[in-house]
Structure 1
Amino acid sequence: MRTLVFATNNQHKLEEVQAIVGNNFALRSLKDIGCEADIPETGTTFEENASQKSRYIFDHFGLDCFSDDSGLEIDALNGEPGVYSAHYSGTRDTEANLQLVLDKLGSNPNRGARFRCVISLILNGKEHFFEGSVEGTITTGRSGKSGFGYDPVFQPLGYKETFSEMSAQEKNQISHRGRAMEKLVEFLNQIQ
């Protein structure tokens, strides 16, 4: 079984991604490798931020690793919150971030949005990128108890439920991270 470092300490993300990759790979978190650094995310794109994190791990620990950067892009807000999704309100308070999105949208009928995820994989010193996205709409209020972040207000196209109302398995099959991870896993399976 191949071991890869996933450059995160977000337990929700780690569980979500481990469920997607299954038993083919053992994932290790930043905590697992003893990385306590606050890895910079100063890029202006998902690609730049994902690359910064994976390069940091490779440069400092010499381990094969991957990282992701993802976020919500809302058409009526000119793509916001985008790369600032995790701290849109100026804090990492997910409730405050979600409320700011609802407040900014107000009663605007244009509620089109997408979740995008970019993964940077560094394997044997070489970097590879994988991207996934899912189109949907922002609901006018919260629905559901599972998931995290903006999941309670994101309804993917073709579904009547928000991500928070779906099971983890349902969400992973169509989510932006799930789609990007599928591409990553396919790539890794081809080179094993």
Structure 2
Amino acid sequence: MARPLILASSNSGKWREFSTFFQLHAPAWELRPLPAELTVEESGSTFAENALLKAKAVAESLGEWAIADDSGLAVAALGGAPGIHSARYAPDDAARIQRLLREMEGIPNRQASFHCAIALVDPQGQVRALVEGICHGEILAQRRGKGGFGYDPLFWVPEVGLTFAEMSPAQKEAVGHRGQALRALKEQLLILERSLG
């Protein structure tokens, strides 16, 4: 029987990506949504700290296995902003993109990276896995593509020649920050499943 695992996020884009991953690669776990009444303040100073904060808070509150990710965009010319504040950079995706475009106007250095940290915590609040992934790219001067979510239409990956919003889900998983972190998580899950029996 699959082991219940609470995803400590109310982001529908993340739910889709995590659901697909667990169905395909980790069927020993049954991903479940975060109860609506539970919220966790992201007060950490790094992606890893925030992922741990969320997973631990949910695991300890519900007495269940919990998984959380914290991810965001770091733009070199903006001193790493929006960084851990990526989701709070503006009220919604459209406004976040507009703010980023405005702040990048006239800046020749377009280098940026997407970061993802994923934490897995057991029902006793013990950290059982912490993995990270990074994808390097550039910020375009205008949106390209209809897929993805967040900053995806502006984030161009040179080796693929596409923005995240132009990639298929499989392409994005292959090169993206969350896909990299999930592949690292898969290895950790296999080791953990053997130890849990």
TM-score band, normalised by shorter chain: over 0.9
2:94 alignment partner AA: E
CA contact (8 A) 1:21 1:181 kept: no
Which residue in 2 is equivalent to 1:29? 33
Which residue in 1 is equivalent to 2:104? 105
In structure 1, runs of 5+ residues without a counterpart are none
Segment of structure 1 superposing worse, 71-80 or 37-46: 37-46
SS state at 1:36 partner: coil
CA contact (8 A) 1:20 1:172 kept: no
1:121 alignment partner AA: L
Which residue in 1 is equivalent to 2:62? 61
RMSD of the alignment, in Å? 1.3
Which residue in 1 is equivalent to 2:95? 96
Distance 2:46 2:110 in 1: 22
Which residue in 1 is equivalent to 2:18? 17
Distance 1:20 1:106 in 2: 37
CA contact (8 A) 2:59 2:123 kept: no
Q: Deviations over 1:103-136 (max 9, x none)?
A: 1111211000000001111135321310001000
Which residue in 2 is equivalent to 1:172? 173
CA contact (8 A) 1:117 1:176 kept: yes
Distance 1:175 1:80 in 2: 19
1:86 aligns with 2:87: yes
Which residue in 2 is equivalent to 1:154? 155
Q: Provide TM-score, normalisation by structure 1.
A: 0.92
Which residue in 1 is equivalent to 2:115? 116
CA contact (8 A) 2:63 2:123 kept: no
Q: Report the CA distance between 1:9 and its aligned residue.
A: 1.6
Q: Report the CA distance between 1:170 and its aligned residue.
A: 1.0
Distance 1:190 1:68 in 2: 20
Q: Deviations over 1:34-57 (max 9, x none)?
A: x51221112221122111111111
CA contact (8 A) 1:144 1:162 kept: yes
CA contact (8 A) 2:118 2:181 kept: yes
Distance 2:158 2:66 in 1: 32
Q: Deviations over 1:67-102 (max 9, x none)?
A: 01000000000000000000113x2x1111111111
Segment of structure 1 superposing worse, 133-142 or 8-17: 8-17
CA contact (8 A) 2:72 2:114 kept: yes
1:38-57 pair list within 5 angstroms: 38-57=39-58
Distance 1:140 1:122 in 2: 40
1:5 aligns with 2:6: yes
Q: Deviations over 1:118-172 (max 9, x none)?
A: 1111135321310001000001100000100000000123021100011111111
CA contact (8 A) 1:21 1:185 kept: no
Q: Provide TM-score, normalisation by structure 2.
A: 0.90
Aligned-pair identity in percent equals: 38
In structure 2, runs of 5+ residues without a counterpart are none
